[in-house]
Amino acid sequence: MNLDTLFNVSAAARGKAADGITIRRPDDWHVHLRDGEMLRTVLPFTAGQFARGIIMPNLVPPVTTVDAAIAYRARILAARPAGSDFEPLMTCYLTDTTSPDEIEKGHSEAVWTAAKLYPAGATTNAHHGVTDIKALRPVLERMERIGMPVLIHGEATDPAIDIFDREAVFMEQSLLPLLRDHQGLKVVIEHVTTAETVAIVRAHAPRVAGTITPHHLMINRTSLFQGGLRPHYYCLPVAKREHHRLALRSAVTSGDSCFFIGTDTAPHLSSLKEAACGCAGVFVGATALQTYAQVFDEEGALDRLEKFASLNGANFYGLPANAGTIELKRRPAAMPAAIAVDGGDIVVFRGDEALPWSIGEVRP
């Protein structure tokens, strides 16, 4: 389905864009690469667009130790396409039994860039996650002291809470108390989906930042049911109402330093998405930058794309901006509707569309 048609984006609203734009090579601060054959299949799409990526640790079993992170990083490096310089930035999966000493060891040895906090049961392979954030105080205090960021999947998991309200409830009941209790802790609220969370990020910047996905900029909750059930738009947090989508587009194009790319690209076999109980996740690794460029073009903010894509995240993590560049061309691009893997396939977000933006030359 053409999303311009779905949301009635007019030519006037898109405005006139340059034929192309060249920006510093961007980074993806939220990536699911999985493992094994899936890793080898999807990594080239992320590595072709981004110089670095924050790697999610929710494997089976999850990446909870320094040794496990070192081994996973080695598998990622081995799976890179020939000539690729993509750098994986590893994270620790927090559990109820995480040791502050293991956290500090991984950070001091430059193995872990950050730690990931999944409320138990919040999303894919999150059943090992944290059941009581208050009990995690010793770990968070250690992270606060050593300057290690915590990356939070911000959704409440009580089944009695409406799925469209779970982000808002988490922010009120869990995130705001955490920020009050740990006032020196650096926090990334990942895959922001509501106007209220946008406001929370802004109110607590610069120690708090928010990542925003390409798909949450393009779809709202109606998209899930447009013309029938669309399982490949189903993700967690689930897409929200249209006014939230518009708030996200305003946030990413605002120039505010507290927002940056986090694609949350999350591949699943189509057979597991198109099922009686389908998996949550959208594979956007192949079309992420093309989609972000389209959004900034439509909002008349192409001059702010580099800051959002290439500078804000690096500054938050205290890393240098990438030296190379990537060219984005305002010319139609076609992507495969799906890519083959493990005897099945993975559906590509917007792979059935003629994208108005495409990737040009990448210079390391």
Annotated binding site for Zn(2+): 30, 32, 116, 153, 191, 264
- What is the signed CA dihedral for 348, 352, 358, 363, rounded to 10 degrees? 20
As a whole number of angstroms, the distance between CA 168 and CA 154 comes to 8
Residue set of the binding site: 30, 32-34, 58, 116, 153, 191, 236, 264, 268, 280
Pairing of strands 259-261, 52-55: unpaired
Strand ranges in 203-336 using DSSP code E only, listed in sequence order:
208-212, 259-261, 325-329, 333-334
Residue 28 phi, psi (nearest 5): -110, 115
Residue 79: DSSP 8-state: H
Provide, for the chain, the percentages of residues in helix, strand and coil under a 3-state DSSP scheme, each rounded to the nearest 5.
40, 20, 45
**Active site includes 162?**
no
Nearest C-alpha neighbor of 233 from the set 247, 218, 245: 218
Dihedral of alpha carbons 232, 250, 29, 297, sign? positive
3-class SS at 217? helix
From the list 101, 264, 303, 345, the catalytic residue is 264
Nearest C-alpha neighbor of 72 from the set 44, 43, 95: 43
Nearest C-alpha neighbor of 41 from the set 315, 269, 210: 269
As a whole number of angstroms, the distance between CA 295 and CA 349 comes to 15
Cβ within 8 Å of residue 126, ≥6 positions away:
58, 118, 119, 120, 153
Rg for the chain (alpha carbons), in Å? 19
Which residue type occupies 243?
Answer: H
3-class SS at 168? helix
DSSP 119-143: BTTSSTT-TTSBS-GGGGHHHHHHH
**Residues labelled as active-site residues:** 264
